[in-house]
Amino acid sequence: MNWWSRPAADTQITHGSRLWLYVLSAIIMLLLVAPTLIVVPMSFSDSQYLEFPPSTWSLR
């Protein structure tokens, strides 16, 4: 087999590598979603500034 007909890299991933890929993906998703889960409830606060936990709820 010539060098130009070989694949650039192995396409099979080991179970250990797949586990690390899932863990890394979960951490990245958590870092992206967590701020949204915190800011959205804080935006319904009655306060003029963001506070957590909200003392009262408002659509102001």
pLDDT tens by residue, 12-35 = 778 888 899 999 999 999 999 999
Cβ-Cβ contacts under 8 Å for 5 (sequence gap 6 or more): none
Distance CA 26, CA 32 (A): 10
What is the phi/psi pair of residue 45, to 5°? -75, 150
Residue 19 contacts residue 27 (beta carbons within 8 Å): no
Tokens 């192995």 found at: 10
What is the phi/psi pair of residue 50, to 5°? -70, 130
Q: Is the pTM of this model over 0.85?
A: no
What average pLDDT does the structure give for the chain? 80
Tokens 């890394």 found at: 24
